Structure 1
Amino acid sequence: MSSTITIGFIPREQFSLAAESLQRIFDYTHIPFNLIVVDCNTPKVYWQQIEQVLDGRSHVEVIHKNHYLTPNQCKNLVIQQAKDDFVCFIESDVIVEEGWLSQLMAACEEHPADVAIPRIIEGRLGETKLHWDPNLGHIRSVQTTDGVKYEILPFTDEQQLDKGSHRRTIELSGEAHCQLYRRSVFDQVAPFDEEVVYLDWIDSSLALYNAKIPVVFEPKSVVHFWHPFPPRRDDLDYFFMRWDLERAQQDLDRIPKKWNLVQVTADLEFAMERNRIGQLHASMEELKALIPPQKPFILVDEDWLNSNEIIEGFRTIPFTEHNGQYWGAPTDDDTAIREFERLHQTGASAIVFLMHTFWWLEYYTRFHDYLRQKFPCVLQNERLIVFDLR
């Protein structure tokens, strides 16, 4: 008799991609499955899209909650309802490829293992960059002044998940965006810790390690992890709940104590970056107050916002520019200054640096000095630096 499986479909930080993600699951999963969808105060527009995908489908259960839930809370609801041999948790901003679930099932059955994780690619279909935490490799015990503690070490060269295409056992399960569990695992380990929000992938990895649950990495199973930049406005409330800095700091304080670690392999910076990204809508309002809508301005963003709805209504010039397209970072200060002067002469009213390009001003020091000496800096915060060129 073949094994049965439940897919638990849960939100992570947004809802806007859920219908597309769910449709891909139906289109590219060719083994029977039961589906549990967790709806935790999904904005109406996105829930209607999900309902269209679910319309007429069998073996589907929806868990409705009228308030936001964290990913771990959602997973625990799925565990309570799932009765199949396997449970696959997949977040609603994950896009699956052909045969993704069959490969995970085969890895668990044939390797064998109790948990299987796929190859996770950052970005849309067609992208190739692997998404993983290289710092979460393996564990050793170390003697400290406070007794024996555990130290998390990075992957060694032969362990790295971006190398090779062979199935292999790993000590720590890594990213939580898509994972297949034998249902029996939860007879050995506690459900997901609902106090943990920011460091959920580290916490669940250590729980499996502590219980000696074998985990297999199956690179033939491929999914894509995609988070729009920035999130849409109606996703922002949930997004900021997910990346609350106070809760993130609580995780950073709690996880080392919970698992007797020397230190945790993360810091607050990623949560801070997600917050800055969420605040980009407010940043665009700041730009509107500074730059008249009909005036073009130079945008230094390494093409992050190309065709993004957040810059609709602005007349942006990419820096550097060739035939209206972004042309890459300048080779040196002289190139940056020449390119800037050329674009300034076309009537650009300002030059705007987005947060992830602040390094340009540290790297191209003469270019930075040139701007500071010739033009007033009219806005500088953790998200934007703007020089008025008028």
Structure 2
Amino acid sequence: MDSPPRVTAIITSRERFSYAEESLESFYAHTDVPCRVVYVDVNSPSDRWERLQRLSDIHGFTSVRVNKYVSPNCARNIGLRYAEGEYVVFLDNDVEYTPGWLEPLIDCADKEQAAMVGPLYLHGPLEEQTVHMAGGDMEFSGTWGTREFTQTQRHFMKPVSEVPADELHRQRCDIIEFHCALVRRSVFDQVGGMDEGLLTTREHLDFSQRVLDAGGTVWFEPSSVITYRMPPPFALTDLPYFMLRWSDAWTAETLKHFATKYGIKPGYVERVTKNRKGRQWLLFEQIKQYLPDALGPTATKAVKRAFQKVEPIGNRLLVEFMALREPPLEWQVHHNSRPAAREPAATAGTAS
């Protein structure tokens, strides 16, 4: 009799829905290790949910549909309810994989008794070979309540060819990211689930720190490689979720929660402005393709400045409108051709 898989892959929406099918096909094309797969769909358009169910029937994974937009950490907690085996690998739904990406992560966790293992993260098309992170570092300093906090993504934005070879080896680090993160399931018994007070950002920093505080180790394994396919493009139906996911309101709440939790100086919340600029840059990159060439650079810059002034108002109104219509949390499960089963209206426990 075959042994059950050692790994459950939990795939959640990062910031859009439109790349999910390509990402899933890449996953199945490049994953040779037997694993249980749980895809948590965060209220994507009904036609995309129908296509996900068809893919579920083809590949045999479990698809879970949440009835409203929720944060990635909330979705990860829901996915954890269906996890089995020794390890969980958290994945975003906009990742492209390379052959044999999973085996080195498991090998590192086995041999080093690691609590968490992350790959070499790239971003953009795989052929561009641009580093997103090759392991990361973080540091707290100062007195509680006014602490400084710094983090580093090693070799961010460098071509892989420019990273010294002696730095691309299996090694301990402080942080890995949830684009792809292998976690030993027993860790959750020690530190709890994902902190749902973190709605937009800092999730990987918080969970990595909790693992380190519990005596676990975090490792970087460069023989595993994935790439994060950041937008644009967007589908129009991606935009409401993207705007909420990176909204000023969710970001401010997240940064305040993170600063309070770790005794960081209150000014840390000013990073809301940085997140807004990132959101606006991605959105305007999408808009630019619809502007007429006749506008020229000067007029295009003027349109961009006008957009940057108006966009925060639209963002706030969108969040307020969604809050008025927010239903109680429920989800349903689809596996193969069996009828969907209604699940309880509750989330997995949040971390303290």
TM bin (shorter chain): 0.7 to 0.9
Please list every run of 5 or more consecutive structure 2 residues that lacks an aligned counterpart in the other structure: 310-352
Query: Shift of residue 251 of structure 1?
Result: 1.8
SS of 1:351's equivalent? helix
Q: State the SS of the aligned residue for 1:193.
A: coil
Aligned to 2:272: 268
Structure 1, 258-267 or 116-125: larger mean CA deviation? 258-267
Structure 1 residue ranges, 4+ long, deviating more than 3 angstroms after superposition = 146-157, 160-163, 261-266, 277-281, 352-355, 377-380
Q: Which residue of 1 aligns with 2:123?
A: 122
Residue 168 of structure 2: SS of its match in structure 1? Answer: coil
Q: Within 2, Cα distance between the matches of 1:148 and 1:270?
A: 20
- Identify the match of residue 259 of structure 1 among 262, 281, 284: 262
**TM superposition shift of 1:32:** 0.4
**How many residues are paired up?**
298
2-structure distance, mates of 1:111, 1:216: 9
Q: Deviations over 1:356-381 (max 9, x none)?
A: xx6xxxxxxxxxxxxxxxxxx68842
CA contact (8 A) 1:8 1:90 kept: yes
Deviation at 1:236, TM superposition (A): 0.4
- TM-score normalized by structure 1? 0.68
Partner Cα distance (1:268, 1:257) in 2: 15
Which whole-Å CA distance do the structure 1 matches of 2:132 and 2:270 have between them? 16
- Cα deviation, 1:51-83, whole Å, max 9, x if unaligned, reads 34333323x222222211210011101112212
**TM-superposed deviation, 1:148:** 9.2
Read off the aligned partner of 1:97 and give its amino acid letter: T
- Spell out, residue by residue over 1:60-113, the C-alpha distance to the aligned partner (whole angstroms, 9 max, x if none): 222222211210011101112212110011010111111111111111112231
1:148–1:53: structure 2 CA closer, same or farther, 3 Å change rule?
same
**Match in the other structure for 1:323:** none
What is the deviation of 1:177? 1.1
Q: What displacement does 1:276 show?
A: 1.5
* Alignment correspondent of 2:295: 350
CA distance in 2, matches of 1:210, 1:150: 18
Q: Distance in 2 between matches of 1:186 and 1:232?
A: 35
Q: TM-score, normalised by structure 2?
A: 0.74
List aligned pairs for 1:304-319, cutoff 5 A. 310-311=289-290, 316=293
Match of 2:234 among 216, 225, 231: 231
Structure-2 separation of matches of 1:108 and 1:24: 23
Measured against aligned partners, the alpha-carbon deviations of 1:265-294 in whole angstroms (never above 9, x if no partner) come to: 98224421243146549x95xxxxxxxxxx
Aligned to 1:26: 28
Q: Which amino acid aligns with 1:268?
A: V
Q: Could you tell me how far apart the structure 2 residues matched to 1:147 and 1:380 are?
A: 36
CA–CA distance in structure 1, aligned partners of residues 213 and 299 of structure 2: 42
Establish whether residue 48 from structure 1 lines up as the match of residue 43 from structure 2.
Answer: no
Structure 2 CA distance for aligned equivalents of residues 191 and 21 of structure 1: 25
Map 1:133-282 to 2 at 5 A: 137-139=137-139, 141-142=141-142, 144=143, 151-152=149-150, 154=152, 163=164, 164-171=167-174, 173-199=175-201, 200-261=203-264, 267-277=271-281, 279-280=283-284
Retained in 2: the 8 A contact 1:22–1:92? yes
Offset at 1:238?
A: 0.7
SS at match of 1:188: helix
For 1:35, the equivalent position in structure 2 comes to 37
Whose RCO is larger (CA < 8 A, sep 6+)?
Answer: 2
CA distance 1:244–1:276, change in 2 (3 Å): same
For the pair shown, which has the larger CA radius of gyration, 1 or 2?
1
Could you say what secondary structure the match of 2:224 adopts? strand
Tell me the distance in 1 between the aligned counterparts of 2:18 and 2:200. Answer: 21
Corresponding residue SS for 1:381: helix
Change (3 A) 1:156 1:94: closer
1:194 aligns to what SS in structure 2?
A: coil
- Give the direction of change, closer, same or farther, for the CA distance of 1:101–1:350 in structure 2 (3 Å limit): same
